[in-house]
Amino acid sequence: MFPEAELTSKGEGLYNVVVIGAGTAGLVTAAATAGMGGRVALVERDRMGGDCLNTGCVPSKALISSARLVAQVRRAEEWGLDPMEPRFDFARVFARMRERRAKIAPHDSAERFESLGVDVFRGQARFLSPREVEVDGRRLSARNFVIATGTRPAVPPVPGLSEVPFFTNETVFDDLREKPERLVVLGGGPVGCELGQTFARLGVRVTIVHRPPEILPKEDADAAVTVRRALEREGVAVLAGAEARRVSRSGRALVVEVGVAGSDSRIVNADAILVAAGRVARTDDLGLEAAGVARGKNGITVNRYLQTSQPHIYAAGDVVGGYRFTHVAGAHARVIARNILFPWWKAKWDDSVVPWCTYTSPELARVGWNEEDARKRGVQVDVWRQPFEEVDRAVVESEETGFAKVITRKGSDRILGATIVSEHAGDLLHELVLAMKAGVGLKQISSTIHAYPTFAEVSRQIADEYQKSRLTPGVRRLLEWWYRRARRA
């Protein structure tokens, strides 16, 4: 355990850990270390809770929830109801999002963390040396430091963009006060697709401009196409293989000149622009040079123990690049908390089984490899696919769009990866995530009883297909012989 903390005034003396950044990674590190008896300082220059609470997961999913209900009302006839058009007020939907966020916020508040024994400091932290940081003129010393400062939105160098107002995820949830009639989204990754569909469902004419030839380029190609078709059915104009070449004003309207591969430029008029073109690590103003902490193209460089180039300084969450997800940031923090407590018995960060989900409708969830990953590695695989139109619960719920796909090593039931594109995909994926983590193969999933009717049966159905594949012609002839023998007995 940590040595018993002396009765030292806040900010004075030596801390076991100074954590810089009060997003998920920083909060989990601080709470875990303080809970194990450590003396912890937590520094945050902006809002407690970081991007996830304030400008990311929480507000976006609250809006998605409202927009999903709006979309279901529009589909009322599919459930045998009279056709109807949803009635809603755009401002009230945003107010509900902020109210839901405010309900969660106390869990991440400075008051709660002070009650846990963490000394919370508000301000910009800057390293003075590898062993000391300054926060608004106050110096803090510690045996260990954790950098968990996250990322900020990347703004593409489009001529004219900096001269007009635009939104990012950091501003759209609080600064957008009235419904735009037309919205251009720059970027067709998860944020662009999620918010693009959400705004379309709330009555906004949305155009997504995306440079690669397909949206969600990191995902399974079939799954990305399924999501794109769903967006287009709901009125989202998807310009893939395109880029914004210039942005300007024309009266009150914003004018985006878009270059599309294989065709002439086109003009897209908008009332608002949302930039969703990736993220950049927040490392400015930290004084990393004074600390001797190295950084690379995608963020701070760490080893498998999440140590930086200074072994007593760790980095966690989005600031290190790689998988930039809230759940990964929390997992980083748990590894670091253990490594600070037991420096002679360090745990390695294991990213071999990391799930994620894009919360469009349908959702797109993924863990491990897809077919392209296997091809690049030269690994022979079997692909098992099950459409949701053959899952009874999906049929009765009128949610047949999508499929589940599992990749196994050739001739084996060992799961190398899975992709699910469907409603509830993020929840459904975790049976396969746990199977991968525990080394459970399709054979065991097939023999596991699943409640009927549930969406989760899709995993058992895929596993059943694997089991059927083992019935080779030779085995079948042997079984036929055995049945004939049984009939004569």
pLDDT digits (tens, 9 = 90+) for 449-488: 999 999 999 999 999 999 998 877 777 777 777 878 787 8
Phi, psi for 44 (deg, rounded to 5): -140, 130
Omega cis (within 30) before 362: yes
Burial of 280 (0-12, 13-18, 19+ CB in 10 A): middle
Q: Order of strands across the sheet with 272-275?
A: 237-240, 205-210, 182-186, 272-275
Looking at residue 6, its pLDDT comes to 56
Q: Facing residues of 406 across strands?
A: 384, 418
pLDDT in tens, 127-152: 999 999 999 999 999 999 999 999 99
The fraction of the chain above a pLDDT of 70, given in percent, is: 98
Q: Residue 115 class from Cβ within 10 Å (0-12 exposed, 13-18 middle, 19+ buried)?
A: exposed
Can you tell me the distance from the alpha carbon of 467 to that of 462, in angstroms, rounded to the nearest whole number? 9
Residue range 11-46, pLDDT digits in tens: 899 999 999 999 999 999 999 999 999 999 999 999
Give the separation between CA 221 and CA 372, rounded to whole angstroms: 9
Q: Mean pLDDT, to the nearest integer, of 185-192?
A: 97
Question: Helix, strand, or coil here: 94?
Answer: helix
- Cα separation, 368 vs 303, whole angstroms: 21
**Global pTM value:** 0.94
For tokens 């301000």, name the residue: 123
For 385-449, give the DSSP string: EEEGGGSHHHHHTT----EEEEEEETTS--EEEEEEEETTHHHHTHHHHHHHHHT--HHHHHTS-
284-310: average pLDDT = 96
Helix (H) or strand (E) holding 454: none
Query: Per the structure block, which two tokens stand in for 112?
Result: 């709660």
- Indicate whether 118 pLDDT > 60: yes
Range of lowest pLDDT (300-304, 358-362, 472-476)? 472-476
Please check the confidence at residue 4 and state whether its pLDDT lies above 60.
no
Q: Grade residue 380 by pLDDT with cuts at 50, 70 and 90.
A: very high
Q: What is the mean pLDDT of residues 174-203?
A: 97
